[in-house]
Structures are given as structure tokens and as C-alpha cells.
Copies of this chain bind each other. A is one copy, B any other.
Amino acid sequence: MKDEKPEVLDVIGTAEDCDCKEGMFPDPGRRALLLGGAALAGTGLFAGRAGAEATQGASQHAVLDDPTSQPGPASGGGYGLRSQFETVSRWEFPLPQPGVSGSFTPLAGTHGTITPSGLHYEVHRGGVPTIDPARHKLLIHGKVKRAKVFTMADLYRFPSVTRTAFLECAGNGGMEYARPSMPHVQGTHGLTSNSEWTGVALSTLLREVGLEDGANWLLGEGSDAGMHTRSIPIDKAMDDAILAYAQNGEAIRPEQGYPLRLLLPGFEGNMSIKWLRRLDVTDKPSFTRPEVTTYADTLADGTTRYFTWEMEAKSVITFPSGTMKLPIPGTYEVTGLAWSGRGKITGVEVSADGGKTWARANLVAPVLSMAHTRFTFGWRWDGKPAILQSRATDETGYVQPTITALVDVRGVNSKDHNNGIQSWAIDAEGNVTNVHA
């Protein structure tokens, strides 16, 4: 290709060198729009794209003025990492409880529907145990005909199932009930992530051990120092529950329960017990400490809702979102994510006037049940203050409520299950902030 090189260097060198038939940006409005786009790179809109901080583990290479002038590094042949220009800025779990740690998914910087496994949200109440898969065992006992211990090798032998599903922490958005609190979408909504999971259907293993009469519930237990436990209804266990050993094409990550986690699609994240080591089949719910304290929802009148498992339909605009700045009026692609623990998203509407009027957004196919669905919406910002909102509807007909409507019914005693409509205010300068509207 040597013979083509001079020509290429010429035309790439400067805009003036190209064989333009007309001006590079013949429409002044369009030019401003494009230059505005360039200006965005420095404002945090595409935060992480060009920062100084290095990606964890990535090799640092020199940038050549002309990358064709000498060969780059050869394939490493190992496990590839992100570019040195892709920095990681993760919001850490803000609860002051001892032993609790976690991090959020930076939704503003993600694309499509799959969450990179390295950016999946995580909440731990005893850290991340280090488990040798060759030594890990799962016991299924209780009201079963044949109690059994399964090694990981045993589990790999059973028929596998694969599906995409979101996981969302019950507390996602918990700081937003009473007032807008977190500055950006990672803080307001970053406790939801979406992966392709592979494992064994729990129903397959329950048939293997044989359920006795009165087998109505399971007590699931993790191997972490927090010894997380939850009661799981047998109907969900026999329906779509998975004992997952793989995530996005490889073994699940340590933070996600390596080597084995329960996956209950559509249910609040803590039900999908990580580092799963025991399932005790029972006749009644066990009323474990987490489910009668942390994950029970106290209403305004002091009564408490237990077992509020299903994550109701929800959506959020990820661009533009809090801390971003729209540099100039013009056309933008508004985009975000929608999901429902009850099935498929059937529609997302977008409002630019704080909910007075709504228009239908485009849903990116395929729309999968109980999975993140990407929506997009072309919007022309006229430079005046605006309030952007999105509103999801799922296949049951449920429509995402306003936060006000939620608070009217549930009060603000509980931090969980906030699926209210998120509002992003845009001021006349284009600054985007988190508001209640």
C-alpha cells in the first residue's frame, strides 16, 4: 500500500487539503452544530473518552502524529483491555453502613443494551469472597426427595439456558424520593445493569432432587461473609430462575457471584443471591433478616410491605443527563434505557416540557423481556429552558408513574423501589441538572 500513502497523508493532513466540492460546512447552522459537538468532548458529556487517568490495567502507548508511520504493538494474545483513553469513573456506594461496599454503572457513558461485565453495578455486605470453583458446592435440601450436593462440574453437565436480563438494586434511586439528590445519571440510576446470562434452569435441578408436598418456598444462601439469605417463592423458582455460571460469554465475575449465582429475572437484585451455596426447600418463607429489615418497605402510615420483588417499569434518559452541557441550540439524539421486571417494554414516551406533552421514542430491536431496552428520540432544542423526561410502559399495560404519585402512595420512609419518572432540567445555557418536576 506504500504507493497510496502520500495521497492519504495529504488529504488527512488538514481540512483545506481535501478535494472539497463545496465548503466543508456549507450550512452555518450545521457547522455550529458540528463544532458544538466537538466542544462537547471537553465538558464531561463524553466523560471518560479522553481523560488523563488511565484505564485499570491498560498498557500505555505513545500516540504517533501519523499512526501509519510505524507498526503498533502486535496482538498481546491475552485478555484484551480498554483503550488507555477510556478512563473509569465509578460512583461508589454512599451508604455509611459498616461492611457495605459497591459501585454504580456509569450509564451516561455506556452504549446499546449490554453492560460491560467490568462495569456491572455491585453491592456487597461482606466484601467479595474468593472462591475456587473446583471446591465450590451447592446443597439443595429440605422438603425434597433426594437432597444433593452439586459441584460446579456437575452443574456444567446439565442442559444450559441462556437469556439476557437486567439486574436492578431495590435501592436504585433511593436518594431521589424526597428531593433530587444525585448530580448525574450514574448516581440516580446506576444500580441497574444488563447481561447475557448462561446457566442451569433451577427447575431442572429441583426436578432432579424431587419436590415433596408442601415445597412452597426456598431459602437461598450465599457464601459471603454477610451470609446473605432470601426466601424465594417456588413458582418463581420453577418458572424462569437460573443458576448462572456465565455472564456475557464467560464465567461470571467475582463481584457477580463467581462461580455461581442465582438469577431471578425481573426481581430486585438482592434476590439473585451471589456465591450461592445452599437452597433449603421449605413450606413457609423464612423471614430472614435482610427481608424483614433492609429489603422491606415501610409506608407512610408505618405499615411495612414485605416481598416486594418485582421491579416495576422504569426508564431514564442517559443523554442528555445531569452534569452535561448542551453547547448550542440544535438537534440532538436523546437516548436512554427502559426496563420492566414484568416483561417487555412496549413503549417509551419522551417529554421536553416537564410532562405536559409526550411523543413516542424509537425502541432499538430486539426488545427482550425483563432486559434493558435502548430508546432514542430526535429532539430540537430551541435554546430555552426545558425539562426532559421519559416514561415507560410495559406489556402488562403498567405506565411508569411520576415520583410525586409514588410518594403520595408510599411516603418517603423507604428508600426502595423508586421507579418514578426522572426529570432533567436544561437551562438557557444548556446546563443539565437533576430536578423534580
Contact = CB atoms under 8 A, between A and B. Distances in A.
B75 A249 contact: no
Contacts of A255: 75, 80
Interface stretch (A18-26, A175-183, A396-404): A18-26
A85 B254 CA distance: 10
A60 to B, nearest CB: 9
Nearest to A99: B71
Contacts of A198: 111-112
A135 interface: yes
A200 to B, nearest CB: 10
Given A82-B250, A83-B254, A159-B333, A67 B224 contact: yes
A109 B250 CA distance: 7
A358 interface: no
Contacts of A37: 151, 153-154, 156-157
A327 to B, nearest CB: 10
A45 to B, nearest CB: 8
A329 to B, nearest CB: 13
Contacts of A144: 21
Nearest to A286: B4
Given A127-B71, A153-B39, A118 B79 contact: yes
A249 B116 contact: yes
B130 A225 contact: no
Interface stretch (A8-16, A232-240, A414-422, A426-434): A8-16
A61 interface: yes
A184 B61 CA distance: 34
Interface of A is mostly: loop
A129 B227 contact: no
Instruction: Pick from A64, A79, A116 the residue with the most CB of B within 10 Å.
Output: A79
A147 interface: yes
Contacts of A50: 132-134
A177 to B, nearest CB: 24
A90 B78 CA distance: 6
A79 to B, nearest CB: 4
Interface of A: 1, 4-5, 8, 11-12, 15, 18-26, 33-34, 36-41, 46, 49-50, 55-57, 61-64, 67-86, 88, 90, 92-93, 99, 101-103, 109-120, 122, 124, 126-135, 137, 139, 141-142, 144-154, 156-162, 196-198, 221, 223-229, 245-246, 248-251, 253-255, 258-259, 275, 277-278, 288-289, 332-333, 335, 364, 366, 368, 374, 376, 378
Given A21-B147, A158-B333, 19 more contacts: A21-B146, A36-B157, A38-B151, A40-B153, A46-B153, A56-B79, A67-B131, A68-B129, A72-B124, A72-B224, A73-B130, A80-B120, A81-B118, A82-B253, A83-B253, A85-B133, A114-B114, A160-B376, A161-B364
